[in-house]
Structure 1
Amino acid sequence: MELAKQSKSPTFPTTPYFDGFIQNHLGIFGVHYGDPSFLLDIPPPSKATAPDGYRFNDGDFKRPLWIDPKFPYLVLLPRFNPFYGPLFSRLNLNEKTVPIVEVSVPGSSFGQFSSRWGLEQKIVDSWLYLESLLRLTLRTMMGLYGSRPAEAVYTFLSPISYCYTERNATSHSNAVKIALRSRDAFLPLMAEITLMFILLDARDIKDWRARLSDQTKLHRQWIVDLEQSAVGNMNIDRVGGIMDLTLEKQHLDHHLPRHARWLLPHLLGKHRVPLYFFYGKDLPLKQPIPEALANLGFVPTQGEYEYLNGLNGEVAFSPWSVKGAKWQSHRNGRPPSPPVSPASAHLPATKPESTPFAPSPPSTPFPAVERDSGQKPGEDIHAFMERRRLHNEKRAQHESFDARKARLAREQHASGGTAPGKKGARVFVWEEEDGGFFIRRACNRTNAADRWDEFTPHQRVYDSFSNQWDLCTALAPTEIAEPDIFDDDDGDDDFFFHQPPASTDVLPPLPDVPGRDILEAGTGERAAEVLEHAYGLTREDLCEDPSRLPGWNIQDARSIITSRFGFVENSTVPASSRKMQDKACGWALGDETWSVPPESGLPALFQHILDANDLKSVSANLMDIASSDSDLENDWNIDVKMLRMQDHILYELFPCGSHSSSPSILLESAAAVLQVLRSGWGNNSDVETIIRNLVKLGVAFFPGWPRPLEYAPLPPPIQPTLGRRHAGYTPTLVDYGVYVERRNSFLRSPRGRVALFYGGIVGRLARLVLSDFEDLACYDPYEDVLKSGVRVEAARDGDTVLWHETLTQDEVDIICGVYIVETGQKSSATEGGQQLKYISWWPTPTAFWSSGLNTGWWNSNCERWFVKRLRDMESMSVKLFTYAEWKNKIRYNTLSRKVGMKNDKLAEGYLAAHNRVVH
Structure 2
Amino acid sequence: MSNDLHVFVRDGQVYTSLTALLLPDVIPYEPPWDPWEDYDRSPDDSDTPLTTRWAYGTRPWFPLIPLNPSFNGPIFECLNHSRFLLLTEVDTQGKHILHCDIRGKWVDLEQKLLWCMERLGAGLLIPWGTKLPRPPTAYGYQRSHTDANLAKKVAMRSCNAFLLIAATCSWHIMSRQYRNPGHAWTALLTDDPKYPIPAEWVLELSRSFVGDLTTNVPRTGALISSIHCPWQVQLPMFERFLILIWVRQTSAAVDSTLRHYVPSEAAIARATEALQWGQTHDSTWGQPDDSSWGQDGGEQPVSAAPEAHADSLFPIPQPHSGQMRGEDWKTFFVRRRDVNKKKEETETPARRQSRQSRERAAMNHSIPGKSSTAVVFEWQSNDEFGGFYECIHLTKAEIPMTWTLYSKSTRVYDSFRNEWDLCDVLDPTSVPNGDWEEDDFPLPPAPSEPAPAPLPPPLSSFLRDIETHFGRYEVAPSAQYTRSVERFVSILHFHLGYQLAASTSTPRGRSTTFNDWARKTHWTHLCKLIGDDDNANITSIPDAQKHVITCFIGYLVTLPQSQLSDIPPDLWDLGSQPSLSASNAHI
Find the residue that maps to 1:277 and give its secondary structure.
Answer: strand
Find the residue that maps to 1:42 and give its secondary structure.
Answer: coil
* 1:22 Cα deviation after fit: 1.5
Q: Distance in 1 between matches of 2:305 and 2:574?
A: 50
Q: Distance in 1 between matches of 2:497 and 2:295?
A: 62
1:78 maps to what in 2? 66
Q: Distance in 2 between matches of 1:95 and 1:118?
A: 13
1:158 maps to what in 2? 135
Q: Distance in 2 between matches of 1:723 and 1:196?
A: 30
2:226 maps to what in 1? 245
Structural mapping, 1:253-402, within 5 Å: 258-268=229-239, 270-271=241-242, 273-280=243-250, 282=251, 285-290=252-257, 293-294=258-259, 297-308=260-271, 312-313=275-276, 315-316=282-283, 329-331=290-292, 334=295, 337=299
Find the residue that maps to 1:137 and give its secondary structure.
Answer: helix
* 1:189 Cα deviation after fit: 0.7
- Structure 1 residues 61 and 170 mapped into 2: Cα distance closer, same or farther (>3 Å)? same
* 1:311 Cα deviation after fit: 5.2
Instruction: Give the alignment partner of residue 80 of structure 2, picking from 92, 110, 127.
Output: 92
* 1:76 Cα deviation after fit: 1.1
Find the residue that maps to 1:276 and give its secondary structure.
Answer: strand
2:445 maps to what in 1? 501
1:533 maps to what in 2? 468
Q: Is the 1:78–1:236 Cα contact (8 Å) retained in structure 2?
A: yes
Find the residue that maps to 2:256 and give its secondary structure.
Answer: coil
1:127 maps to what in 2? 106
Find the residue that maps to 2:91 and give its secondary structure.
Answer: strand
Does 2:144 match 1:174? no
Give per-residue Cα distances to partners, 1:602-656, cap 9 Å, x unaligned: xxxxxxxxxxxxxxxxxxxxxxxxxxxxxxxxxxxxxxxxxxxxxxxxxxxxxxx
**Which residue identity lines up with residue 299 of structure 1 in the other structure?**
V
* 1:260 Cα deviation after fit: 1.5
Q: Is the 1:50–1:68 Cα contact (8 Å) retained in structure 2?
A: yes
**Which residue identity lines up with residue 300 of structure 1 in the other structure?**
P
Find the residue that maps to 2:8 and give its secondary structure.
Answer: strand
- Structure 1 residues 319 and 279 mapped into 2: Cα distance closer, same or farther (>3 Å)? same
* 1:33 Cα deviation after fit: 3.6
Give per-residue Cα distances to partners, 1:107-140, cap 9 Å, x unaligned: xxxxxxxx21101111111111111110110101
Q: Distance in 2 between matches of 1:735 and 1:32?
A: 52
**Which residue identity lines up with residue 62 of structure 2 in the other structure?**
L
Q: Is the 1:130–1:530 Cα contact (8 Å) retained in structure 2?
A: no
- Structure 1 residues 287 and 170 mapped into 2: Cα distance closer, same or farther (>3 Å)? same
2:425 maps to what in 1? none
Q: Distance in 2 between matches of 1:309 and 1:127?
A: 49
Find the residue that maps to 2:191 and give its secondary structure.
Answer: helix
Structural mapping, 1:556-595, within 5 Å: none
Find the residue that maps to 1:28 and give its secondary structure.
Answer: strand
Q: Distance in 2 between matches of 1:163 and 1:198?
A: 30
Q: Distance in 1 between matches of 2:386 and 2:271?
A: 46
Q: Is the 2:111–2:457 Cα contact (8 Å) retained in structure 1?
A: yes
Does 2:159 match 1:183? yes
Q: Is the 2:31–2:42 Cα contact (8 Å) retained in structure 1?
A: no
Q: Is the 1:172–1:487 Cα contact (8 Å) retained in structure 2?
A: no
- Structure 1 residues 334 and 212 mapped into 2: Cα distance closer, same or farther (>3 Å)? same
Q: Is the 1:220–1:724 Cα contact (8 Å) retained in structure 2?
A: no
Q: Distance in 2 between matches of 1:96 and 1:305?
A: 46
Does 2:60 match 1:117? no
* 1:534 Cα deviation after fit: 3.7
* 1:42 Cα deviation after fit: 3.1
Q: Is the 2:294–2:300 Cα contact (8 Å) retained in structure 1?
A: no
Find the residue that maps to 1:185 and give its secondary structure.
Answer: helix
Give per-residue Cα distances to partners, 1:549-585, cap 9 Å, x unaligned: 7999xxxxxxxxxxxxxxxxxxxxxxxxxxxxxxxxx
- Structure 1 residues 823 and 38 mapped into 2: Cα distance closer, same or farther (>3 Å)? closer
Q: Distance in 2 between matches of 1:475 and 1:316?
A: 29
* 1:724 Cα deviation after fit: 12
Q: Distance in 2 between matches of 1:493 and 1:298?
A: 47
Q: Distance in 2 between matches of 1:201 and 1:734?
A: 36
Give per-residue Cα distances to partners, 1:694-718, cap 9 Å, x unaligned: xxxxxxxxxxxxxxxxxxxxxxxxx
Structural mapping, 1:695-710, within 5 Å: none
Find the residue that maps to 2:131 and give its secondary structure.
Answer: coil
1:460 maps to what in 2? none
* 1:278 Cα deviation after fit: 0.8
Does 2:11 match 1:25? yes
* 1:500 Cα deviation after fit: 2.5
Q: Distance in 1 between matches of 2:291 and 2:496?
A: 51
- Structure 1 residues 837 and 129 mapped into 2: Cα distance closer, same or farther (>3 Å)? closer
* 1:229 Cα deviation after fit: 0.6
Instruction: Give the alignment partner of residue 813 of structure 1, picking from 534, 537, 550.
Output: 534
Find the residue that maps to 1:140 and give its secondary structure.
Answer: helix
* 1:306 Cα deviation after fit: 4.7
Q: Pick the structure with greater CA Rg.
A: 1
Q: Distance in 1 between matches of 2:284 and 2:151?
A: 46
Q: Is the 2:64–2:219 Cα contact (8 Å) retained in structure 1?
A: yes
Q: Distance in 1 between matches of 2:235 and 2:496?
A: 37
* Greater relative CO (CA pairs within 8 A, separation 6+): 2
More strand by share: 1
- Structure 1 residues 89 and 837 mapped into 2: Cα distance closer, same or farther (>3 Å)? closer
- Structure 1 residues 155 and 25 mapped into 2: Cα distance closer, same or farther (>3 Å)? same
Q: Distance in 1 between matches of 2:478 and 2:172?
A: 46
Q: Which runs of 5+ in 1 are unaligned?
A: 1-17, 106-114, 248-257, 322-327, 341-361, 365-380, 383-432, 437-471, 479-483, 511-518, 553-718, 740-760, 766-810, 825-833, 843-872, 878-919
- Structure 1 residues 543 and 434 mapped into 2: Cα distance closer, same or farther (>3 Å)? farther
- Structure 1 residues 505 and 187 mapped into 2: Cα distance closer, same or farther (>3 Å)? farther
2:365 maps to what in 1? none
Q: Is the 1:224–1:723 Cα contact (8 Å) retained in structure 2?
A: no
Q: Distance in 2 between matches of 1:88 and 1:535?
A: 14
Instruction: Give the alignment partner of residue 233 of structure 1, picking from 212, 233, 242.
Output: 212
**Which residue identity lines up with residue 436 of structure 2 in the other structure?**
D
Structural mapping, 1:37-56, within 5 Å: 38=24, 42-45=27-30, 56=46
2:177 maps to what in 1? 201
* 1:212 Cα deviation after fit: 2.5
- Structure 1 residues 246 and 737 mapped into 2: Cα distance closer, same or farther (>3 Å)? farther
* 1:434 Cα deviation after fit: 10
State the identity %: 16
Does 2:200 match 1:214? no
Find the residue that maps to 2:233 and give its secondary structure.
Answer: helix
2:337 maps to what in 1? none
- Structure 1 residues 300 and 26 mapped into 2: Cα distance closer, same or farther (>3 Å)? same
In the superposition, the TM-score normalised over structure 1's length comes to 0.37
**Which residue identity lines up with residue 56 of structure 2 in the other structure?**
D
Q: Which runs of 5+ in 2 are unaligned?
A: 33-38, 307-311, 314-327, 332-382, 390-397, 406-433, 501-526, 554-570, 576-587
Q: Distance in 1 between matches of 2:222 and 2:120?
A: 24
Give per-residue Cα distances to partners, 1:273-327, cap 9 Å, x unaligned: 32111112x3xx503232xx54xx4322344345545555253578566xxxxxx
Structural mapping, 1:634-645, within 5 Å: none
* 1:70 Cα deviation after fit: 1.3
In the superposition, the TM-score normalised over structure 2's length comes to 0.56
Does 2:124 match 1:146? yes
**Which residue identity lines up with residue 148 of structure 2 in the other structure?**
H
Find the residue that maps to 1:286 and give its secondary structure.
Answer: coil
- Structure 1 residues 837 and 476 mapped into 2: Cα distance closer, same or farther (>3 Å)? closer
RMSD of the TM alignment (CA)?
A: 5.1
Q: Distance in 1 between matches of 2:53 and 2:496?
A: 40
Q: Distance in 2 between matches of 1:50 and 1:82?
A: 31
- Structure 1 residues 186 and 509 mapped into 2: Cα distance closer, same or farther (>3 Å)? farther
**Which residue identity lines up with residue 241 of structure 2 in the other structure?**
K
